[in-house]
Structure 1
Amino acid sequence: MVSNAKFPLFLPGVRKDSNQNISIISADVREAETVLAFYTVSGEKAESTVEKSYETTAFASFSDIVKLFVEEHQLSEINRIAVAVPGPVIHDQGISIRLPWILDKAEIAAGTGVSDIFLLNDLEAMAYGLADVTDKDLLTIYESENRTTGNVAILAPGSGLGEAGLFYDGKFLRPFATEGGHSEFSPRTTVEVEFYQFLNKIYGIVSWENVLSKNGLFNIFRFLRDEKRHPQSERLIERLKAGRDFSTVIYESAMEDQEQISTIALNTYLEFLAREANSLVLKLKATGGLLLGGELPLLLKEYIDKERLYQKFMISDKMERVLRDIPIYMLLNKKMILAGAAYYAAFSEN
């Protein structure tokens, strides 16, 4: 199946009769909310017809959310359930410190009455979401005239830091999950050493998630505020007191007011983003491209200086020749995890 010629996914069951005319409940499970969607499969497409969000912590189990979703929308004949997990999936269990319960394949089957349950990491689901992506869903950060095929890397910072890859087998791309966001952050400059020491006192081990997630942006900001003594305007202080999403407040403060501490925080964040993107691409030898997804890149897309981000991405001791031809895109489709989980459930098995 080739939905977008840039990213031909390996979906071996796409033409199997038993994968046709089926219905799937797809779930994007997150700390604050769980989003469910009802998909129907026809031909090579999985189409969503119903979608609703629920407060995750308001339910005793994931199965209870599914049962309410089915009841509210009077759904019947559910053939499969696909669950995107914000963490690793091991031995048919999705485990995440952000969730109030473990996602267990057998428990979900028993609790919902649906026998075919598919659990996969949320970034792996995002990778499968490329099946539903068109060129209008891609914002080009950098495009090389010498674009080559090869593995693809996905870096998606939001509430956490998701990282995944797609292995190129010579014809198709095969998604796989990683937990690279939990690898240890390494400072480069004297100020970054101070930043590391600041975070080390808070966390002990300092992971890249402590730097590049939404909480990571807050960590950069409070380091600038508390350790480097950058002043805040009264307008910014009032905005922060209002209780709105912190990342959005800092973005608006930088864009609308050119607030110095907010601008420095965002520039520092984007430099770290470019550096971890560089590291992920080199580790995966992702010559087929880098995809930036997640809440924060989407929030900051109007702020990002594409040329500056590319130049920071290119900094390397010996690998500039490899890095310079790697295309970089931002994923604009906010439903990729939901859609990807549905495509995985529909077509990943032959």
Structure 2
Amino acid sequence: MPLILGGDVGGTKAYLGLYRVDGEALEPVKVERYVSTDFAGVAELLAHFVEGCGQQPDRVVIGVPGPVKHTPVKPVNLPWTIDPEQIAKALGVPRLFLLNDLEATAYGTLALSDDDVIEINRGEPDPTGGMAIIAAGTGLGEAGLAWVDGRYVAVPSEGGHASFAPGTEREVELWGWLFSRHGHVSWERVVSGMGLVNIYEFLRHETPDDEPEWLRAQLCEPGAGARVISAAAQQHSVPLAGEALRMFVSLYGAEAGNLALKMLATGGLYIGGGIAPQILDELTEGSFMQAFTEKGRVSDVLQRIPVRVIKNDDTALLGAAYFGARMAQHVTHPNQGKL
């Protein structure tokens, strides 16, 4: 039975898995998680994993942040250059395939069960309609799925780097504050881990005395940022942090709605990334969907789109392995026929 090595390598964490294709299923042989920057590059990371497996994969598919059309690839948010030909030779495999990380996540949604998601808008799902995936984490990833010749095909995107369009006077002020510091202001500047930090710092700039001393001290610690701000809002009810988190959730909903319209995602929108599962209460309290559907004359289209939060951390990893198996026509998906 063929062995597929799938990977999801992000700016913070790396997920690698070796899967055996067993009939119509992917059977996990070994799955590991690593800190991406503990390794000098993808070649070293993969070699370490393969050595630990003690088995040679037949096919390798890795999802990485950033565009992968031309090689070598320089991933976004990682200090590496990835040359798939050199890495394939080093591993002793015929070829290494690269996917955009959200492209991998898109394929991974096809393998999710109901237990892997939380529904925040039931909508009216179209079984062959387009789908969209948005994922805020270290950065902001976006992708889609299009129904083509009886199966879904992922549509990669770098939409997170598109220009941020403020929708309220307050957001215009936020845009101006960010523009004065960075020039171009992308959606990733406001909807990501650094986005929450940027929003918080914008609000703090206006009312610095509202920041508790203990929170100021924590934010000075290495690795602090979105995690500390989110905790200050959720666990300590700090008004400044709470306001930042509310603005973040609203902006997340607004850009998710933009993406759903561009993909005409009548099959549903999935919210992935590491942030969403940590702020489920905020995502489900209403402001996300309000911003999602506030699109003027086409608001009714957005109201009919199912919206689900992904709980499974391994979605992109599953998608990479799924894609590897599909290339060899080894796997059938129960909902869409032959891969």
**TM above 0.5, one fold?**
yes
Amino acid at match of 2:137: G
Instruction: Give the fraction of aligned pairs with identical amino acids, expressed as a percent.
Output: 35
How many Å separate the matches in 2 of 1:306 and 1:170? 38
CA-to-aligned-CA distance 1:193-223 (integer Å, 9 cap, x gap):
2211111122110000111010010000000
Q: Please name the residue that 1:56 is paired with.
A: 36
5 Å matches for 1:272-291? Answer: 272-291=251-270
Amino acid at match of 1:62: V
Please give the secondary structure, in 1, of the residue aligned with 2:20. strand
CA-to-aligned-CA distance 1:212-256 (integer Å, 9 cap, x gap):
010010000000001354611233234334445422222221122
The range that moved more, 52-61 or 272-281, is: 52-61
How many Å separate the matches in 1 of 2:207 and 2:292? 26
Query: TM-score, structure 2 length as denominator?
Result: 0.91
Q: Please name the residue that 2:173 is paired with.
A: 194
Q: Please name the residue that 1:340 is paired with.
A: 319
Please give the secondary structure, in 2, of the residue aligned with 1:303. helix
Please give the secondary structure, in 1, of the residue aligned with 2:211. coil
CA-to-aligned-CA distance 1:6-60 (integer Å, 9 cap, x gap):
xxxxxxxxxxxxxxx1112222212234332221111122122222334433434
Amino acid at match of 1:346: A
Alpha-carbon deviation of 1:147? 3.2
5 Å matches for 1:163-202? Answer: 163-169=142-148, 171-202=150-181
Please give the secondary structure, in 1, of the residue aligned with 2:89. helix
How many Å separate the matches in 2 of 1:240 and 1:285? 40
Q: Residues 142 and 306 of structure 1 are in contact (CA less than 8 Å); yes or no, is this contact kept in structure 2?
A: no
Q: Please name the residue that 2:125 is paired with.
A: 147
Q: Please name the residue that 2:225 is paired with.
A: 246
Q: Is 1:215 paired with 2:188?
A: no
Please give the secondary structure, in 2, of the residue aligned with 1:270. helix
Amino acid at match of 1:52: E
How many Å separate the matches in 1 of 2:219 and 2:41? 34
Q: Is 1:47 paired with 2:43?
A: no
Q: Is 1:83 paired with 2:76?
A: no
Alpha-carbon deviation of 1:282? 0.9
Q: Is 1:67 paired with 2:47?
A: yes
Amino acid at match of 2:181: I
Q: Residues 200 and 206 of structure 1 are in contact (CA less than 8 Å); yes or no, is this contact kept in structure 2?
A: yes
The range that moved more, 300-309 or 128-137, is: 300-309
Please give the secondary structure, in 1, of the residue aligned with 2:26. strand
Q: Is 1:226 paired with 2:205?
A: yes
Q: Residues 248 and 299 of structure 1 are in contact (CA less than 8 Å); yes or no, is this contact kept in structure 2?
A: no
Q: Residues 79 and 116 of structure 1 are in contact (CA less than 8 Å); yes or no, is this contact kept in structure 2?
A: no
Q: Is 1:119 paired with 2:98?
A: yes
**Contiguous gaps of at least 5 residues in structure 2:** 330-339
Amino acid at match of 2:122: E
How many Å separate the matches in 2 of 1:230 and 1:45? 57
CA-to-aligned-CA distance 1:95-130 (integer Å, 9 cap, x gap):
323222222221111111111321101101011112
Alpha-carbon deviation of 1:87? 0.8
3, 9, 12: which one aligns with 1:32: 12
76, 86, 89: which one aligns with 1:110: 89
Q: Please name the residue that 1:4 is paired with.
A: none
Q: Is 1:331 paired with 2:291?
A: no
What is the RMSD of the two structures over their aligned residues, measured on CA atoms? 1.9
Query: TM-score, structure 1 length as denominator?
Result: 0.88
Alpha-carbon deviation of 1:141? 0.4
How many Å separate the matches in 2 of 1:317 and 1:199? 27
Q: Is 1:268 paired with 2:247?
A: yes
Q: Please name the residue that 1:18 is paired with.
A: none
Please give the secondary structure, in 2, of the residue aligned with 1:110. helix
Q: Please name the residue that 1:297 is paired with.
A: 276
Q: Is 1:94 paired with 2:77?
A: no
How many Å separate the matches in 2 of 1:239 and 1:91? 41
**Contiguous gaps of at least 5 residues in structure 1:** 1-20
